Chains A and B, each alone.
Chain A
């Protein structure tokens, strides 16, 4: 089955649509090239759907932030473990991995948040929460 919607996968974390890598198909795992989320892709009449692998698990956010830092070439500092604790606490209290240092519980503020994906680290040297940093 060939899905419509130009054969793109929708990422439920960062809301981008990206073409799945060649040769990858129904029921396989791909990584969102923008936010680093692992997605299990399925063909549907409306296009590819991507389900978050390990949704809401601690491992999901650990893998996502490591992948995102790798994609962008960002580094972490000694606050990493505490910020991850904050992300997990956000998930527990407010439903998803939102910025631990903000009071914004919406899709645009899932880590890595939209301002961060949009270049805050290049501009400020760090993201708002101080998780992602420019390599010095």
Chain B
């Protein structure tokens, strides 16, 4: 199996957050295959563990968080997304 770059793309979002929605839409519009998790819709330990992970990676609890390879993009930022994705 060829490992696609998109295997690495993860989005941590809140289902209620308009900036998260814009990021999701941007990725969709550009045909980017990614793994999207609405953290607010998780429960219990699963949510706690992911929040710890997000805080470890970004130093805070702010959304959306997009992980593209080793790149971490916090907040909706089309310029950074374009650059990281080579669009």
Contact = CB atoms under 8 A, between A and B. Distances in A.
Interface of A: 79, 82-83, 85-87, 89-90, 93-94, 100-103, 129-130
A129 B62 CA distance: 10
Contacts of A83: 18
23 contacts: A82-B18, A85-B18, A86-B16, A86-B17, A86-B18, A89-B15, A90-B16, A93-B16, A93-B40, A100-B16, A100-B18, A101-B14, A101-B17, A101-B18, A101-B62, A101-B63, A102-B14, A102-B61, A103-B14, A103-B40, A103-B61, A129-B17, A130-B19
Interface of B: 14-21, 39-40, 51, 61-63
Nearest to B17: A101
Contacts of A87: 16
Contact of B15 (A79, A93, A102): A93
> Is chain A's binding surface mostly helix, strand, loop or mixed?
helix
Contacts of A85: 18
Contacts of A90: 16
B13 to A, nearest CB: 10
Contacts of A130: 19
A38 to B, nearest CB: 24
Contacts of A129: 17
Nearest to A88: B16
Minimum-distance CB pairs A-B, first 3: A82-B18, A100-B16, A89-B16
Contacts of B17: 86, 100-101, 129
A94 B39 CA distance: 13
Contacts of B20: 101
A102 B61 CA distance: 8
Contacts of B16: 86-87, 89-90, 93, 100-101
Tell me which of B16, B18, B20 has the highest count of chain A C-beta atoms within 10 A of its own C-beta. B16
Contacts of B19: 101, 130
A130 B17 CA distance: 11
A130 to B, nearest CB: 8
